[in-house]
Amino acid sequence: MDKLANPTYKDLSIEEERKVARTFMGRMEWEMILIGLGQVTAWVLTWILVVGNSIPLWAGFFISTITTSFAYLPSHAGQHGHLSGKLKNLKWLNSVVGQLSLIPLAQSHHVLKATHLKHHAHTNDPEKDPDYMHTHVNHWWQAAFNVHLQTGIDGKLVKIVERFSKEDPLFKANMEKGGLFSLLFLFAQMIVVLFYPIETFLLWWIPRKLATSYLGIIFSMEPHNKLPKGRYKDTRLWSNGFPRFLNHSMQIHAMHHMYPKINHFDEPKAIEALKPFMIKRKIPNSNILPKKIRLNSLINLTN
Amino acid sequence: MPLIHNLLDLFLQHLSKWGLVWFGLIFWGSIFNAILERLFLDASSLIFLFLAYLLGLILGLLAKYKGWVWIN
């Protein structure tokens, strides 16, 4: 694979691009399984420690906010089948780990999977992209707010979901299956709050709202903001002065939209190999991308 | 079985319409009550309890009619 670190290809055809991309697909992404189960365990432990008065509530709030911000990515990996890779007998890992990981966010894995796959199919389409309302905004704070508002009365997301439910039976089935988990989370919060009101507010409600805002900005707005539709045009490579870890490596989200089957943790080496193709296809900012992506903080794109 | 199925259906239909109101009443009512208890020494009185859950109910109703889904 290291031969691909500084590639010089003569053939930059789509076929060759796919051939190179395929060499990075199919691995079971064990790192995401660890993160998913690790963060939900840390979240539950935080609850136990706060309720048992072993740590103060403010410390629990701080820890919970950090662990909750790690809750989505493992589900996202599960949505794309990365957690099982090409091991068909372990496909259950995708939904089981994906759902467990989403407990701090009180979200349904199936609902997020259904809407996220539509986001991939219709990225930046104002009528069909479920993420459009918090992606195509003028300021980061609008993304942070809109991501919480879009399912409200006359919310555009509701209309998009209704439309896909009529057109796509698989989407409808996933939404119905996921709807039960959403209800379960609604009840769970209403029950837990009766016994631990302030704890539920500071260890669950606020952290998941903060994490959702963070996701709206970093996962949706930054990579797609004001870009057109089109496989090689809809996602940019970007930087915001913060190291990659704090951005969940979303600076290189363009790789994910190019080949969603490539694991999150394999994207840096895939980009190093596919960079000539990305430049040829004019993926936004691919021309200023550094040669070395692995262990690169990407504080700015040109370092 | 059809009876249980029908009841479950009715329950789900009710929740899809009134879920936010119940959430406001129970979730936010409990939080408002806990905050009042911390702010006022005699907040365990029924008046404070009623006030907290009334505020929660109002928030839930506002959420339902104004589309404030962020409350849940």
Identify the band that residue A154 occupies on the pLDDT scale cut at 50, 70 and 90.
low
Find how far residue B28's CA is from the centre of its chain. 6
Q: What is the pLDDT of residue A298?
A: 84
Do A201 and A147 fall into the same domain? yes
Q: Which residues of B touch A155 (CB under 8 A)?
A: 67, 69
CB atoms within 10 A of CB A170: 10
Same domain, A90 and A222: yes
Do A205 and A247 fall into the same domain?
Answer: no
Q: Is residue A3 very low, low, confident or very high in pLDDT (cuts 50, 70, 90)?
A: very low
What is the average per-residue pLDDT within A90-107?
97
ipTM of the complex as predicted: 0.90
The answer to whether residues A125 and A248 belong to one domain is no
Q: Is the predicted pLDDT of residue A17 greater than 70, yes or no? A: yes
In this structure, the answer to whether residues A95 and A236 fall within a common structural domain is: no
Q: A186 and B15 in contact by Cβ < 8 A?
A: yes
Total count of domains within chain A:
2
Between positions 182 and 211 of A, the ones with CB within 8 A of B are 183, 186, 189-190, 193-194, 197-198, 200-201, 209
Q: Give the end of a domain, one of A212, A229, A246.
A: A229
A263 and A293 share one domain: yes
CB spacing of B69 vs A148 below 8 angstroms: yes
Q: Do A177 and A283 have their domain in common? A: no
Separation between Cα atoms, residue A198 and residue A57, nearest integer Å: 9
Q: Pick the residue with more confidence: A152 or A112? A: A112
Residues A125 and A252 both lie in one domain: no
Q: What is the pLDDT of residues A38-64, one digit of tens each?
A: 999 999 999 999 999 999 999 999 999
Indicate if A32 and A17 belong to the same structural domain.
no
Residues A9 and A44 in one domain: no
Whether A50 and A19 share a structural domain: no
DSSP assignment of A59-121, as one string?
HHHHHHHHHHTTSHHHHHHHHTTTTTTT-GGGTHHHHHHHHHHTGGGT--HHHHHHHHHHHHH
Q: Which domain holds residue A217?
A: 28-229
Q: Taking CB atoms and an 8 Å limit, are B15 and A183 in contact across chains?
A: yes
The band of A1, judged by pLDDT with boundaries at 50, 70 and 90, is very low
Ranges of residues in chain B with a pLDDT under 70 are 1, 42-44
Of A229, A247, A276, the domain-final residue: A229
A interface test, pick of B38, B53, B72 with most A CB neighbours within 10 Å: B72
Which of A183, A206, A229 lies at the terminal end of a domain, its last residue?
A229
Task: Work out the mean pLDDT of chain A and round it to a whole number.
Answer: 92
Whole-prediction pTM: 0.92
